[in-house]
Structure 1
Amino acid sequence: MSEPPANLAALFRDGRLTAIPRRTGPRAALLDHLAATLFEPAREYGEPEVNEALRTVHDDHSALRRYLVESGRLTRTRDGRSYRRATGDA
């Protein structure tokens, strides 16, 4: 993953996310960064791949996955087996 932008740098230490922000603004910026740097546009990912990518930055990959889906940055197929980065994100 690329270096986080300056406004997110305080959330990371040694390339790992130290905590998921509770406030909406910082969380939105974080999710934009994660979606853009961890997932290629138009590529389909299985849930294990999504989890593995998110684990590279934080142990609570399920929370990050849920936030990405709920915010519309990742979309999930109807059967729930695969994910894609949403178009129009950062």
Structure 2
Amino acid sequence: MTSPPAARPVADLFSADGRLQAIPRRPARREALLAHLAETLFEAGRTYREAEVNEALKTVHEDFSALRRYLVIGGFLARTKDGADYRRQQQPGSPGGAIPAVA
């Protein structure tokens, strides 16, 4: 019995200028990327407006809306019901995780 292949580092998804070359199609690879982005672009415990999330994601890839959606669906970012505020999850929660709406 052979052991599973070692996971490739997330760094090889980025070009020399720090831009993401493509969003991985394979779920495990995409999840590793999303974990990396959540950890490096968003501070734990801080609430971000949607525009701030978009600006952070634009620094790595032009399809920021797809990345934002994947981060929320994967439980890496939680958002209010109205979609105005986002917060990094300490550990990915259930898909589509939400934080309470701000009154």
Identify whether the pair has TM-score above 0.5, normalized to the shorter chain. yes
CA distance in structure 1 between the aligned counterparts of 2:32 and 2:66, rounded to whole angstroms: 16
How far 1:79 moved relative to its partner? 2.0
1:64 aligns with 2:77: no
1:53 aligns with 2:53: no
2:10 maps to which residue?
A: 8
Greater share of strand: 1
1:3 maps to which residue?
A: none
CA distance in structure 2 between the aligned counterparts of 1:33 and 1:9, rounded to whole angstroms: 9
1:22 maps to which residue?
A: 25
Give identity over the alignment, percent: 63
The structure with the larger Rg is: 2
How far 1:8 moved relative to its partner? 1.4
Structure 2: where are the runs of 5+ without partners? Answer: 1-7, 93-103
Q: Encode CA deviations 1:57-80: one digit per residue, 9 max, x unaligned.
A: 000000000000000000001221
**3-state SS of the aligned residue for 1:64?**
helix
CA distance in structure 1 between the aligned counterparts of 2:41 and 2:29, rounded to whole angstroms: 18
Q: Encode CA deviations 1:20-68: one digit per residue, 9 max, x unaligned.
A: 0000111010000000000000100000000000000000000000000
Pairwise CA RMSD of aligned residues? 1.1
More contact order relative to length (CA 8 Å, sep ≥ 6): 1
The count of residues paired between Structure 1 and Structure 2 equals 84
